[in-house]
Structure 1
């Protein structure tokens, strides 16, 4: 199993109020220059929140949420320090309750 680290926040906060796009574009460019595989993903309405063990986290989230998910804990820690209004956590997947960590409930 792989450990996935995440930040969660409202879509409005992460996608409209914060300059998150430029952070992700810069990080993607850096990875490409270094020949590194991408180890982070932006997921609207992440399905992992539907797992029973995530019920307490889901209860704290706004209804329209977005997650930045990564296998790189340092990247998530750095984002948390940069962004104030986010939840941070981790989970292991694939598991019986989280078969696809990158799945989304969003149809858009």
Structure 2
């Protein structure tokens, strides 16, 4: 079983209001400097929200959402502190996460 951690917000927030591209680019460069394999993904229209138990209106509009998913809980917690207005959570899956 794989444990995944995520930060989810509107596409507009991630793409236009926060410097997510810069944050993920810096994180990628940091991993490369350590010769560490990437363990995070950015995805639009995250399908995994159907796996969650949450019954919030926020999740009922999946086309408007984007998510950063990682195997690293600490990275997602840091991201929550860095960008603020995201919902964080976790889920388990038997397979590795492969975004569309």
TM-score tier after normalising by the smaller chain length? 0.7 to 0.9
Counterpart mapping for 1:42-81 below 5 A? 42-51=42-51, 54-56=52-54, 59-61=57-59, 63=61, 64-81=64-81
Query: Could you list the runs of 4 or more consecutive aligned residues of structure 1 that deviate by over 2 angstroms after TM superposition?
Result: 57-63, 99-104
What count of residue pairs does the alignment treat as equivalent?
98
Secondary structure at 1:80's aligned position in 2? helix
Equivalent residue number for residue 82 of structure 1: 82
Equivalent residue number for residue 93 of structure 2: 93
Q: Deviations over 1:47-104 (max 9, x none)?
A: 11123xx15256323721001000000100000001121110001112xxxx663344
Instruction: Return the TM-score normalized by structure 2.
Output: 0.87
Q: Name stretches of at least 5 consecutive residues in structure 2 with no aligned partner.
A: none
